[in-house]
Structure 1
Amino acid sequence: MKDVSSTAGRGWLVARGGGRGKRVLRELVDPFTVSPPGGARIRDRLRLSGRDADVLRLVGGHLGGHARADLAERVRIGRVPVRENRRAERKRVLTGVSSSRWAGAITRASEDQYQLSLRCLLEERTSLRRAVGKIRGRLAVPCGQRVGGVRGYSDRVERVQKQCRVQVLTARLAGVEARIGAGHPAIVVGGRRLAKVRHNLADAGLTETGWQELWDAARMFLTADGESGAPYGNYTISVDPVDGTVTIVLPEPLRYLANAPRGRYRLACTVTFSHRREEWLDRITANRAVRYDIAYDPTRSRWYLDASWSTPNTVLPTPAELAAAGVRLLAVDLNADHFAACVVDAHGNPVGGPLTVPTDLTGPASQRDGRLRAAITELISLAQANGCAGLAIENLGFADARATGRETMGRGKRGKTFRRTVAGLPTAKFRERLRAMAYHRGLVVVAVDPAYTSRWGGQHWQAPLQQQSKTSVTRHHGASVAIGRRALGHGLRRRPGVTAHDQRIVVRRATGHTVPHPRARGTASPPRTTGTPPGGKTCRDRSDQLALFPVSQDRSGRQPDTPGLGDPANSGQHRQERFVEPPPRGGAARPERMVPYPPIRTARTPRGQRQ
């Protein structure tokens, strides 16, 4: 697979000067701690009887029709301040056909949907403007030439095709501009993709009845907002914490279906919410707000009940605080078919061997999401097993690359494959899933700028990792080390000499080399006072073995005038120490004998001569 990390979103900046493009480093963004999730959402299955399912379909269809009418009214109002969207008036009209709480949920959902559609429209305008500008810039350059760093199209055929495409994009941009000016985004309740499937049922493998069931299920409205102080946190849809029974307030025209007091309908099934049940019980027993959503999956013929609530804001440690605490991080490099990870200590050094977590993100959306969760769970388990305080990831989004699309991400079949690979990376989904799952396991997620991580990681860290690992090491593992170092505030490049090539010291850690320690200027060692015995020094003897011996001369080469008692360094006499000469290679050990140490070369001894 082609490495997308060094091309999309991580490239060089081109500074134009003198008619030639000069590559300069782009400005990096400081690493930051990803905020914890603002809420929680859990799900349990509703095992409904036939009558309960029919009642929920009637209620959902009734409320869904009024919700679509309210959304159409909100779109007609247009882009106005919040106080002028006439929500109170619309809610008053809906209260007569449902209830006050159902009406509040409908108007709130309509406003949220309108604002989301408007933001999507603004992003589409930005994307079209970038694409049009990119094509026009290349059209201004003759075929096969380059002017000011802009390359023209290869031949006239491609140039004509791009001229046609820029006209199509310009027409689309004009339509988007008109919608933004009027404040009327196009919204299809139920999904535009599902609506288009109606005209191609044979290709989708659906019948008209099956499509209608999917369409009706997507357009139902069964959402009840929570209310603090209400019984069990929600008056419209209530769940009893004792026996798990579910009751629903029926709209005013459907009150004849009630089987419980005050116009409520009680379902025959119960719910338990096994996942995060303690948190849910703490909220509903204290009558704190909990929102409930009832959803229907026609493919499986299953009903579900979702409970969601907001969580308090939590202040997480910053990357600087994590580095000061001396913790480890599990650095992860996201790729199309696997996660490349490596444990990095507080000094930016890799600990242990590189790790690879495979991911198979093919198939239906539900299967892809489950496989992504399984891979994230394995990453979190690896982080906890190695004593890491958090995970370091790249702040990927590929927003700029996706905005201009095919104009900047390759040409032909190879470019199409590359763009498909970029589009298949679950960048946003991975980040959202990771920050939620890591937060509940007590881990911190640090996001870093993705610039040059793959390039410098492969250049500086792939070879050292391969020397210490028996498995195959790729540039993605080197990129993971670069990500972890950047999260802790270290540089990505490995300074020369940190990892020695000598076989006797190749296993030596580079901790002391990666962290700069202040030293007094002009001195190579701490100052000594008169009469203080110096420590032993390590040097090599003639047999190329390490020997620890006391220094008999000072740096000037002169002997001290006043020897000290019991101190061979101050006596001026060179003693013979007990030394065992190492055996030759392949031979037997030699008997122990007295061997004098070799004399020490002084600064006055000419090079190439012995003292």
Structure 2
Amino acid sequence: MGGLREVAAPFVVPGPSGVAIRTRLKGLTAGDETVLRLVGDLLGSLASRDLKARCAARLKHDSEQWAERKRRLTQESSSRWAGAITKATHDQWALARRGQLAHIQSLEAGIETITHRLSVPVGERGTKRVPGGYRSTREWHAKRRRLCVLEERLQTVRADREAGVVRVVRGGKRLLNSRHHLEQAQLTEEQWRARWQAGRRFLAADGESGKRFGNETIRVTPGGEVSIKLPAPLAHLANAPHGRYVLAARVSFAHRGEQWADRVAANRAVAYRIHEDTTRRRWYLTASWTVPPVQIVPLASARAGGLIGFDTNADHLAAWRLDEHGNPTGDPRRFFYDLSGTAQHRDAQVRHVLIRLLHWAERHGLSIALEDLDFTAETTREKHGRRKRFRNLISGMPVSKLRARLLSMAAELGITIVAVDPAYTSKWGAQHWQKPLTTKTRKTTRHDAAAVAIGRRALGHPIRRRTAPPRTHQSDGCGHRTVQARRDTPAREGNRPCIPGPRTRSVRAGRGANAVDQNAQHRSGRSAEHEPWQQDSLPLSL
């Protein structure tokens, strides 16, 4: 027990802080698409220049520089467009800084692992906690060279962070690199250019409470009419008063449309973003707004009546229902999904699995328990060495997306989510629950047992089951049970209480003087040592 790390206490996960819904802009004319591209290209060029100015300021940026940047953008667009662009620039710069810090931590972890393995003799076996040496002298020399490369990279990234230098690409670094590998990306130069231009456009505006329909820059009426405030250089394209352009398309939100309509009718802030999908040749409108913090359900209330624990795997979710005492009830359920194919297909698979899980929990009025997983440190190249298949398996698990989707969908159904520490859930679940829960008609897998372990930890019960009693001399010869009641537990040394309920027609269970002491009752095969014993006299006839 001394080598086990401390397990964190379970907690109720707070709900989402924002909502985003999307719909398609149907019925756009060729003129509408031309105007959208012109506005997006103009604002995209302004956003690129603003991002360049922000990156050049580095750590010396202050409110005066921000005001100067906004004034410069206002002259070429409008004050609201300038505010949206500068805010997006600050968010992108801050995201790049967070990514830079994560890269530094990853390099440090890799360097620490390689340094340790280089200090161990070649061929020495490691343990589950401490890695051993490298397999051969050739691999040792190769890792020695890689250590030098990682140390140089770490020194460069640290210098950039101290100086406030970030490296960002509007449109995405992955799309930029695919320009040099068009055959592998299965793209032509024209297709890549269309994606690049669509990714660098800027057509997003933050909402403002108190303004008409919650947004003055991109306005959507309750009837579905979409209008855009044109920048100053493109004001001659307006087809409505006050320099606005009204699109021919009418929109409606199928998902959370009532919530959106209530916010628009009350003139509450709603942010909009328009973007083009060049592959499908479609335009989409995304609406988003913040959600006030919801009162979190107490952990005791979430545990009342039991819950559903599920284990996340590469191709399915293994779930099992537990009662309030931590006992598995019913049969395990498995929700399979396929994460191959496009991003839209993977996202649809995750949503389909989660809605089935949530409907099951909603029918029985139960909470859901999951592991508080974070695989960012587990997917590094040096963590598992040559186990490429295992690294790819971990990288392919949709942990963050699944959790974000689950929280958003559970909040709409009023289902509470409880997160637990993932330490030893799979190991202890397989050790203590896989074999006892396996029957002739049910094959319990390691993942099903892990779901039981997760549920028991969320309920506050220990994962490990009560062991068998000592074989001889009770506790004098073999010691106490490995899983015992605590010393401060009331009546821990007393007799176990009898379960109430009729067993015979005369005396109900748990009643009478001899309810606990089975030996005191006159039954066949039972001794009555508490009664005095006296041998009968022999008959005189013998």
Instruction: State the TM-score bracket (shorter-chain normalisation).
Output: 0.7 to 0.9
Question: Is the 1:145–1:152 Cα contact (8 Å) retained in structure 2?
Answer: yes
Secondary structure at 2:234 match in 1: helix
Q: Compared with structure 1, are the counterparts of its residues 279 and 554 closer, same or farther at alpha carbon in structure 2 (3 Å cutoff)?
A: closer
Tell me how far 1:515 sits from its aligned partner: 12
- 1:34-64 deviation digits (Å, cap 9, x = unpaired): 1101011111110211000000000000000
Cα distance between partner residues in 1 of 2:362 and 2:502: 42
- Which residue of structure 2 aligns with residue 501 of structure 1? none
Asked if residue 489 in structure 1 is aligned to residue 468 in structure 2, the reply is no
Cα distance between partner residues in 2 of 1:52 and 1:536: 77
Cα distance between partner residues in 2 of 1:212 and 1:77: 30
- 1:167-189 deviation digits (Å, cap 9, x = unpaired): 22112112211211221110011
- Which residue of structure 2 aligns with residue 342 of structure 1? 320
Cα distance between partner residues in 2 of 1:279 and 1:312: 13
Tell me how far 1:551 sits from its aligned partner: 7.0
Match of 2:180 among 184, 199, 218: 199
Question: Is the 1:457–1:482 Cα contact (8 Å) retained in structure 2?
Answer: yes
Q: Compared with structure 1, are the counterparts of its residues 521 and 381 closer, same or farther at alpha carbon in structure 2 (3 Å cutoff)?
A: closer
Q: Greater CA deviation, 185-194 or 54-63?
A: 185-194
Cα distance between partner residues in 2 of 1:303 and 1:537: 71
Asked if residue 254 in structure 1 is aligned to residue 248 in structure 2, the reply is no
Match of 1:438 among 405, 410, 417: 410
Cα distance between partner residues in 2 of 1:366 and 1:310: 25
Cα distance between partner residues in 2 of 1:552 and 1:42: 68
Match of 2:30 among 50, 56, 75: 50
Q: Greater CA deviation, 188-197 or 57-66?
A: 188-197
Q: Greater CA deviation, 390-399 or 69-78?
A: 390-399
Secondary structure at 1:287 match in 2: coil
Cα distance between partner residues in 1 of 2:511 and 2:158: 83
Asked if residue 124 in structure 1 is aligned to residue 120 in structure 2, the reply is no
Q: Compared with structure 1, are the counterparts of its residues 554 and 521 closer, same or farther at alpha carbon in structure 2 (3 Å cutoff)?
A: closer
Question: Is the 1:141–1:147 Cα contact (8 Å) retained in structure 2?
Answer: no
Cα distance between partner residues in 2 of 1:94 and 1:351: 63
Question: Is the 2:302–2:416 Cα contact (8 Å) retained in structure 1?
Answer: no
AA of the residue aligned to 1:52: D
Match of 1:74 among 34, 37, 54: 54
- 1:558-604 deviation digits (Å, cap 9, x = unpaired): 9xxxxxxxxxx9xxxx9xxxxxxxxxxxxxxxxxxxxxx65963235
Name which one, 1 or 2, has greater alpha-carbon Rg. Answer: 1
Cα distance between partner residues in 2 of 1:521 and 1:210: 74
AA of the residue aligned to 1:238: R
Question: Is the 2:501–2:509 Cα contact (8 Å) retained in structure 1?
Answer: no
- Which residue of structure 1 aligns with residue 435 of structure 2? 463
- 1:516-537 deviation digits (Å, cap 9, x = unpaired): 99654765389xxxxxxxx999
Cα distance between partner residues in 2 of 1:115 and 1:42: 25
Cα distance between partner residues in 2 of 1:451 and 1:484: 13
Question: Is the 1:61–1:220 Cα contact (8 Å) retained in structure 2?
Answer: yes
Q: Compared with structure 1, are the counterparts of its residues 549 and 428 closer, same or farther at alpha carbon in structure 2 (3 Å cutoff)?
A: closer
AA of the residue aligned to 1:422: I
- Which residue of structure 2 aligns with residue 566 of structure 1? none
Asked if residue 365 in structure 1 is aligned to residue 365 in structure 2, the reply is no
Tell me how far 1:334 sits from its aligned partner: 0.2
Question: Is the 1:536–1:550 Cα contact (8 Å) retained in structure 2?
Answer: no
Asked if residue 524 in structure 1 is aligned to residue 495 in structure 2, the reply is yes
Match of 1:210 among 191, 210, 214: 191
Question: Is the 2:338–2:346 Cα contact (8 Å) retained in structure 1?
Answer: yes
Gaps of 5+ in 2: 470-483, 537-542
Q: Compared with structure 1, are the counterparts of its residues 485 and 549 closer, same or farther at alpha carbon in structure 2 (3 Å cutoff)?
A: closer
- Which residue of structure 1 aligns with residue 250 of structure 2? 270
AA of the residue aligned to 2:425: T
AA of the residue aligned to 1:217: A
- 1:4-37 deviation digits (Å, cap 9, x = unpaired): xxxxxxxxxxxxxxxxxx9711111111111101
Tell me how far 1:244 sits from its aligned partner: 1.3
TM-score (norm 1): 0.78
Q: Compared with structure 1, are the counterparts of its residues 407 and 552 closer, same or farther at alpha carbon in structure 2 (3 Å cutoff)?
A: closer
Cα distance between partner residues in 2 of 1:525 and 1:114: 64
- Which residue of structure 2 aligns with residue 581 of structure 1? none
- Which residue of structure 1 aligns with residue 13 of structure 2? 34
Question: Is the 2:213–2:264 Cα contact (8 Å) retained in structure 1?
Answer: yes
- Which residue of structure 2 aligns with residue 239 of structure 1? 220
Q: Compared with structure 1, are the counterparts of its residues 144 and 549 closer, same or farther at alpha carbon in structure 2 (3 Å cutoff)?
A: closer
- 1:392-423 deviation digits (Å, cap 9, x = unpaired): 00011123323xx2322142xxx010110011
Cα distance between partner residues in 2 of 1:308 and 1:127: 33
Cα distance between partner residues in 2 of 1:137 and 1:177: 22
Match of 2:209 among 215, 218, 228: 228
Q: Compared with structure 1, are the counterparts of its residues 239 and 553 closer, same or farther at alpha carbon in structure 2 (3 Å cutoff)?
A: closer
- Which residue of structure 2 aligns with residue 4 of structure 1? none
Match of 1:391 among 368, 371, 389: 368
- Which residue of structure 2 aligns with residue 166 of structure 1? 147
Tell me how far 1:381 sits from its aligned partner: 1.4
- Which residue of structure 2 aligns with residue 427 of structure 1? 399
Tell me how far 1:465 sits from its aligned partner: 2.1
- Which residue of structure 2 aligns with residue 451 of structure 1? 423
Cα distance between partner residues in 1 of 2:371 and 2:515: 56
Question: Is the 1:77–1:85 Cα contact (8 Å) retained in structure 2?
Answer: no
Question: Is the 2:509–2:515 Cα contact (8 Å) retained in structure 1?
Answer: no
Q: Percent identity?
A: 45
Cα distance between partner residues in 2 of 1:250 and 1:382: 49
- 1:238-282 deviation digits (Å, cap 9, x = unpaired): 1111x3111100000000000000000010110111211111111
Question: Is the 1:460–1:494 Cα contact (8 Å) retained in structure 2?
Answer: yes
Match of 2:296 among 313, 316, 325: 316
Question: Is the 2:41–2:200 Cα contact (8 Å) retained in structure 1?
Answer: yes
Asked if residue 104 in structure 1 is aligned to residue 83 in structure 2, the reply is yes
Match of 2:444 among 473, 483, 496: 473
Cα distance between partner residues in 1 of 2:495 and 2:443: 41
1:286-325 matches, within 5 Å, as 286-323=266-303
Question: Is the 1:328–1:345 Cα contact (8 Å) retained in structure 2?
Answer: yes
AA of the residue aligned to 2:239: N
- 1:528-550 deviation digits (Å, cap 9, x = unpaired): xxxxxxx99979xxxxxx99998
Question: Is the 2:118–2:133 Cα contact (8 Å) retained in structure 1?
Answer: yes
Q: Compared with structure 1, are the counterparts of its residues 147 and 236 closer, same or farther at alpha carbon in structure 2 (3 Å cutoff)?
A: closer
Q: Compared with structure 1, are the counterparts of its residues 548 and 142 closer, same or farther at alpha carbon in structure 2 (3 Å cutoff)?
A: closer
The total of aligned residue pairs comes to 512
Gaps of 5+ in 1: 1-21, 499-512, 527-534, 540-545, 559-568, 575-596
Tell me how far 1:147 sits from its aligned partner: 9.5
Cα distance between partner residues in 1 of 2:206 and 2:514: 85
Q: Greater CA deviation, 286-295 or 160-169?
A: 160-169
Tell me how far 1:319 sits from its aligned partner: 2.4
